[in-house]
Amino acid sequence: MSLNEAEKSPRMNDGTMIYRPTDEELSKGTFMEKILDFCENLYWMYYIHLPYYLMTTGDAFCLHAFFLAMLTFALFGLIKYIFL
């Protein structure tokens, strides 16, 4: 097989991999995307990185209630600030 035949061979030029861009590459940086990224980061910080299973039941409940209360107050304050 000569060099020209190898260059024209369908096996050499036709790859089977299909490129698909990642979410980061498709991101346009809109305000809604930033809010969704913040919510996703908050979820991972809250539910994954806080080890409730290592605490006693009472401590885990108090910490869980504290974070939920702070998140609720922050959301209420933001909505009140926006609409009033």
Environment class of 46 (CB within 10 Å of its CB; exposed 0-12, middle 13-18, buried 19+): middle
pLDDT of residue 70: 92
Q: Which domain covers residue 63, as residue numbers?
A: 3-83
Cα–Cα distance between 84 and 51 in angstroms, integer? 38
Extract the runs of DSSP E, i.e. beta strands, from 1-84.
Answer: none
Between 51 and 11, name the one with better pLDDT. 51
* Other beta carbons within 10 Å of 21: 8
Least-confidence region, from 1-10, 38-47, 55-64, 72-81:
1-10
Using one digit for the tens of pLDDT, what is the confidence trace for 15-63? 677 888 888 888 888 898 898 888 888 888 777 766 666 777 788 788 8
Count of domains forming the chain: 1
Q: Is the pLDDT of residue 69 over 90?
A: yes
CA–CA separation, 60 vs 47, rounded Å?
Answer: 12
pLDDT at 39: 87
Instruction: Give the residue-averaged pLDDT of 74-83.
Output: 93
